[in-house]
């Protein structure tokens, strides 16, 4: 009898795993422990893909746990009335459970192609809005100067303070100065590795003003935890005003560079 009770206990304990898992997913949004607020034009397709895969794997998880519970309950050793029997296997069953996952993965690969193209292939035809250079442990930013061209003496240099206009395509030229980093904008659904020796384009269109996090999503050294910045999304008028203010500050502290840029 005691072994029977122990078997029931362990079966119920395993059954609680899917129940508690589903409960956590159900209540997490109410406590703001879910996806960060989306402010990118391509965000809905990324989120839709996430929720689709979550629902698919969630159903498989629940069914698997229920089957595990049922087998533990039905084949309790204390209730066995004879010697165990063994099955050599079924080629048909093995073929089925190989084809179904393969077909599912193929479907997901095709289903996500448009979302992938939006953020990795359909690059806007424009000059870079800003260059972002990852460096232990900060984000170095370089905006084109008043001539609108990167790499000239009047470029604007900043650290960890990225500003972009709302409702416009933004093209970032991403680089790394030292080791592998990962440029992560959670609210814009952007995450791209910064690889030493490469210039990697990153683009998006922000749909809402506000200030959000920039973080490094790749362990890059002892100071990885403090490699943080802010991205501020604002109207075109506010963005132009901010640029003018930053140009003025830089020219005031670097008069020789400003004079050289004016001469060019």
Tens digit of pLDDT for each residue in 25-38?
Answer: 788 877 777 889 99
Q: Note the pLDDT tens digit of each residue in 184-209.
A: 999 999 999 999 999 999 999 999 99
Indicate the SS3 state at residue 218.
coil
- Tokens 């030229």 locate to 173
- pLDDT at residue 261 greater than cutoff 60: no
- pLDDT at residue 152 greater than cutoff 50: yes
pTM: predicted TM-score of the whole model, two decimal places: 0.78
Q: What is the mean pLDDT of the chain?
A: 87
- Look at residue 256 in the predicted model and tell me its pLDDT: 54
DSSP, res 40: B
Instruction: Please name which of 120, 126, 133 lies closest in space to residue 190, comparing C-alpha atoms.
Output: 120
Q: How far is CA 38 from CA 75, 207, 208, 264, in A?
A: 48, 9, 9, 42
Domains in the chain, please, with CATH?
2-77+90-120 (no CATH), 130-263 (2.60.40.420)
Q: Which two tokens stand for residue 114?
A: 């448009």
- Look at residue 262 in the predicted model and tell me its pLDDT: 42
- Look at residue 260 in the predicted model and tell me its pLDDT: 44
């Amino acid at each position: 009898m005691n072994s029977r009770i122990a078997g029931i206990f362990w079966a119920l304990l395993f059954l609680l795993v899917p129940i508690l898992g589903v409960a956590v997913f159900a209540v997490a949004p109410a406590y703001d422990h879910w996806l960060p607020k989306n402010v990118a034009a391509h965000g809905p397709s990324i989120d839709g893909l996430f929720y689709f895969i979550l629902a698919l794997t969630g159903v498989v998880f629940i069914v698997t746990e229920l089957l595990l519970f049922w087998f533990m309950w039905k084949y309790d050793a204390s209730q066995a009335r004879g010697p165990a029997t063994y099955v050599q296997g079924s080629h048909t069953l093995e073929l089925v459970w190989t084809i179904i996952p393969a077909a599912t993965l193929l479907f997901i690969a095709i289903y996500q192609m448009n979302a992938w193209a939006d953020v990795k292939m359909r690059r806007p035809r424009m000059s870079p809005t800003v260059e972002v250079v990852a460096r232990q442990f900060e984000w170095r930013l370089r905006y084109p100067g008043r001539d609108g061209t990167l790499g000239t003496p009047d470029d604007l240099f900043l650290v960890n303070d990225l500003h972009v206009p709302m409702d416009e395509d933004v093209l970032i030229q991403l680089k790394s100065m030292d080791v592998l980093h990962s440029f992560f904008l959670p609210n814009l659904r952007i995450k791209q590795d910064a690889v030493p020796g490469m210039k990697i384009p990153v683009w998006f269109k922000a749909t809402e003003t506000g200030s959000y996090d920039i973080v490094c999503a790749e362990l890059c050294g002892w100071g990885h935890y403090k490699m943080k910045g802010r991205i501020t999304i604002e109207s075109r008028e506010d963005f132009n005003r901010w640029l003018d203010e930053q140009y003025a500050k830089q020219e005031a502290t670097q008069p020789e560079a400003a004079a050289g840029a004016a001469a060019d």
